[in-house]
Amino acid sequence: MILAPGFTGYPLDRGDEMRDDMRNLDALAGDPRAKLLQLNGLEPVPGPDGGLSWAPLDESPDIASLALLGFDAGRVPHFARLGDPVPGQPAYAVWALLGGLSAPEAAIYAGARSLVDWHMRHRFCANCGHVTQPMRAGWARLCDASAGGCGAEHFPRTDPVVIMLAEHDGRVLLGRQPRFPAGRYSALAGFIEVGESIEDAVIRETYEEAGLRVRRVRYVASQPWPFPSSLMIACIAEAEDDAIRLDEKELEHAKWVDRAGVLASLAGDPDAPFIAPPPIAIAHTLLSWWAAQDS
């Protein structure tokens, strides 16, 4: 089974080798074919077909305010503009727009959103507090020593999150957070802490949230999750028993669901035991993968 979680399969050549040479970047920004991703704050501006929309660059753009997203098959450079923070944008206003994006567009959008958002939130040096400037074609920020800073370079961060199914006797454990829409259940999840492996985090989080001891943690798939910049790492593990002891600060309810129940939920059956996570979420991919296993 080929797994293609949402937001994966970034279709552009990221062009890392072009990022450090300002003359290269000037030439790319002067390419009349160059494209600028249209964003309203962090949200995509939909084109006529509901997909991403692109515009030509200005005549002589400020290269320091652009991030190079990469090149398509015709070596057309694609950029996003780095801007100031936009106050008051609801974090999930984007959901209605995501459905209009093709899979490759969703991957471009995820990368661009996380990158633009990171710049907005990292305008000052975490080491010395001095103002920082974009560098490396938007893929880093510099606390410029020649302008009174400490010289530190800062890079866009990715925060790893484990998301997992604990399996016991042909059933998997699903949980519900209070903020979920009515009927929705999903895989348990949590941030990996410093000093933890993926396996350690799966074991700890499953125990903290549901009181379950798990073993034999196995990796299934991963996806970037641009809200704001997580890497979701989907796993499966074996539960030693099925006695749930809920952490009610994290979960409102949790339950075991068998394969038929998962399949019915993924199919949108109104009599299914839960409403499945949306297809763009890796929890959906993980449940589909598990439901397709033999046992």
**List of residues contacting Zn ion (CB under 5 A):** 125, 127-128, 130, 143, 149-150, 152
- The least distance separating Zn ion from the CB of residue 155, rounded to whole angstroms, comes to 14
Q: How many CA atoms lie within 13 A of 201 on its CB side?
A: 21
Residue number with CB closer to Zn ion (127 or 133)? 127
CA angle 79, 81, 82 (to 5 degrees): 130
Q: Minimum distance from CB of 125 to Zn ion (Å)?
A: 3
C-alpha closest to that of 141 among 127, 129, 124, 128: 124
**Which lies closer to Zn ion via its Cβ, residue 25 or residue 125?**
125
Report the distance separating Cα 32 and Cα 169, nearest Å.
60
Cα(228)–Cα(110) distance, rounded to whole angstroms?
Answer: 9
Nearest to 70 by CA among 9, 157, 132, 141: 9
In angstroms, what is the minimal distance from the CB of 119 to Zn ion?
16
- Name the residue nearer to Zn ion (CB basis): 97 or 152: 152
- Smallest gap from residue 124 Cβ to Zn ion (A): 8
Q: How far is the CB of 228 from Zn ion (least distance, A)?
A: 22
Based on CB atoms, which residue is closest to Zn ion, 143 or 244?
143
| 3-class DSSP assignment, residue 173 | strand
Nearer to Zn ion, 142 or 262 (CB): 142
If the CB atoms of residues 5 and 149 are measured against Zn ion, the closer one turns out to be: 149
Tell me the residue type at 99.
Answer: G
Q: How far is the CB of 136 from Zn ion (least distance, A)?
A: 16
Q: Which of 280, 284, 289 is nearest to 8 (CA)?
A: 280
Strand partners, 253: 176
142: β partners? 133, 153
H helices within 187-231, ranges in order?
198-210
**Closest-CA residue to 202 (of 239, 235, 169, 241):** 235
Q: How far is the CB of 144 from Zn ion (least distance, A)?
A: 9
Q: Which is nearer to Zn ion, 128 or 260 (CB)?
A: 128
Cβ atoms of residues 12 and 72 within 8 Å:
yes
